[in-house]
Amino acid sequence: MKRIILLCSILLVVLSSLFSEETSPIESGIASWYTSDNSSSLTANGETFDPTALAAAHKSLKFGSIVRVINTTNGKSVDVKINDRGPFIEGRIIDLTPKAAEELGMLEKGIAPVTLTLIFAPEVPESKYNRAGDTGWYLLQIGAFSSVDTATVQYERLVKEKLRPYAELVDNNLIRLSVRWVPAYQLDKTMEKLGSLGFDQSKILKKSEVNPYK
């Protein structure tokens, strides 16, 4: 009987630690809020800007991500969906709708120190556009070659670097090489690798890519 009670106690402690564990903040800084005088203004992901929605602009988080914003001066918090880009003022890390700012008690002051905690990030960003990166994946066009031998050599170099090259015939006599299925979080690393292989990063065309896992 004592053993059963002991096991139950251990189980309760483990479960308690699991359910009480909080995700660590990913960023801290200054929050601000913004609005629009135009009722048809669009956010960066193509949605109509709604000042009454719990939404926000962030410089890099995927569209559709849910972020918990905590006002560190009063302890108030609000969960917002990222659907826009910004703010573009040094030191500010998130731009809130008026409704979200009101929830945090910072509407009148305009700015507040906050911490951001990522609650949810979609596999594919929520966007009405098909711009590079909006799907969460990139196709990188690195160049076109008139020589089959040159294209073959470059293709093999890319394979050796564990990239996923793709060759296609364009304009009847040119072989265009691309690197496919680059996830957004590996974009910078992949670009650096291509640069080390001699490809001019400024001439690499970034295009949106389909999700290979769907």
In a domain, 69, yes or no: yes
CATH number at residue 163: 3.30.70.1070
CATH number at residue 91: 2.40.40.10
Question: Can you give the pLDDT at residue 214?
Answer: 66
- Domain shared by 106 and 141, yes or no: no
pLDDT tens readout for residues 110-165: 999 999 999 999 988 899 887 877 888 899 999 999 999 999 999 999 999 999 99
- Domain shared by 152 and 115, yes or no: no
Per the listing, tokens 């569209």 go with 63
Question: Can you give the pLDDT at residue 213?
Answer: 72
In a domain, 71, yes or no: yes
For 71-129, the three-class secondary structure string (H helix, E strand, C coil) is ECCCCCEEEEEEEECCCCCCCEEEEECHHHHHHCCCCCCCEEEEEEEEEECCCCCCCCC
- Tokens coding 39: 């009722």
The answer to whether the bond into 87 is cis (omega within 30° of 0) is yes
The predicted model gives 161-175 an average pLDDT of 93
The alpha carbon dihedral of 172, 176, 180, 185 has a sign of negative
In a domain, 190, yes or no: yes
Question: Can you give the pLDDT at residue 111?
Answer: 98
Q: Please state, in angstroms and rounded to a whole number, the distance separating the CA atoms of residues 197 and 163.
A: 12
The predicted model gives 164-176 an average pLDDT of 93
| pTM, two decimal places | 0.66
CB-count burial class (<10 Å; 0-12, 13-18, 19+) for 197: middle
In a domain, 193, yes or no: yes
In a domain, 3, yes or no: no
Given 87, 120, 153, the domain boundary residue is 120
CA-based nearest residue to 54, from 66, 63, 41, 62: 66
In a domain, 28, yes or no: yes
Strands 111-120 and 174-183: unpaired
- The mean predicted confidence, pLDDT, of the chain is 88
Domain of residue 159 covers: 137-208
Residue 23 has pLDDT above 60, yes or no: yes
- Domain shared by 44 and 111, yes or no: yes
If one counts the domains in the chain, the total is: 2
- Domain shared by 153 and 67, yes or no: no
pLDDT tens readout for residues 37-85: 888 899 999 999 999 999 999 998 999 999 999 999 999 999 999 999 9
Higher pLDDT, 7 or 179: 179
In a domain, 131, yes or no: no
